[in-house]
């Protein structure tokens, strides 16, 4: 425990002097209303947060009005007082405020929401880029198919012309064969 912690907590006798509540009554309040009070137990001794002293006075007033334990708890809860949860582990005994923890959780959720919004924006841009790439890909396929069709058409035309030339040459060769020797000699 550091010095700043020991300054914020006082023992039951000092708290009794400040609040004018008997020590045994203070201990009972600590036990019965622990969720609203910030204190720690060191061995058999209770250390009460200075911040909780005014709340102890309020609890005393509520009991003096004739309220029971449950009614006092309900009254404190309806006032919106922070609820404290005592955390016990091997290293340290202390209390944490639910409001502080909820505030921290809220901040983390807001950060996550911002990150999720950024991720969604990034995903949307990525989808748009993919759509552009897909459209470009389709355009390229169409252009390639047109070029292929043109090339195939030219090849067919070339083959057709080649075939025609071969047929003409073949027909001409047939005619040459059919000519007699004197027609060949004369060149007719």
Tell me the average pLDDT of the chain: 86
Instruction: Give the DSSP letter of residue 37.
Output: -
Q: Measuring CA to CA, how many Å separate 19 from each of 108, 109, 137, 170, 171?
A: 39, 40, 81, 128, 130
Express the helix, strand and coil content of the chain in percent, nearest 5 each: 70, 10, 15
Q: Is 38 left (phi over 0), alpha (psi -120 to 50) or beta?
A: beta
Q: At CB < 8 A and 24+ separation, what contacts does 44-51 make?
A: 45/11, 45/12, 46/11, 46/12, 47/9, 47/10, 47/11, 48/9, 48/10, 48/11, 48/12, 48/15, 49/8, 49/9, 49/95, 50/8, 50/9, 50/10, 51/8
pLDDT tens-digit map of 58-109: 999 999 999 999 999 899 888 877 666 666 554 544 555 677 778 889 999 9
Domain ranges of the chain: 3-81
What per-residue confidence (pLDDT) applies to 1?
Answer: 41
CATH 1.10.1660.10: does it fit domain 3-81?
Answer: yes
Q: pLDDT: is 52 or 95 the higher one?
A: 52
Proportion of the chain above pLDDT 70, given as a percent = 86
């Amino acid at each position: 425990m550091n010095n700043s912690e020991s300054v914020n907590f006082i023992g039951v006798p000092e708290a009794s002097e400040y609040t004018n509540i008997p020590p045994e009554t203070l201990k009972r309040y600590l036990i019965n209303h622990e969720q609203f009070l910030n204190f720690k137990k060191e061995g058999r001794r209770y250390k009460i947060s200075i911040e909780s002293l005014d709340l102890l006075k309020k609890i005393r007033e509520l009991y003096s009005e004739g309220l029971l334990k449950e009614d006092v708890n309900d009254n404190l809860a309806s006032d919106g007082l922070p609820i404290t949860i005592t955390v016990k582990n091997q290293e340290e005994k202390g209390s944490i405020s639910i409001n502080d923890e909820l505030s921290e959780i809220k901040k983390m959720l807001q950060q996550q929401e911002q990150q999720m919004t950024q991720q969604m924006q990034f995903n949307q841009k990525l989808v748009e880029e993919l759509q552009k790439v897909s459209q470009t890909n389709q355009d390229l396929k169409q252009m390639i198919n047109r070029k292929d069709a043109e090339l195939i058409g030219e090849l067919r035309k070339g083959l057709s012309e080649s075939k025609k030339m071969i047929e003409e040459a073949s027909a001409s060769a047939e005619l040459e064969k059919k000519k007699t020797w004197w027609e060949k000699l004369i060149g007719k």
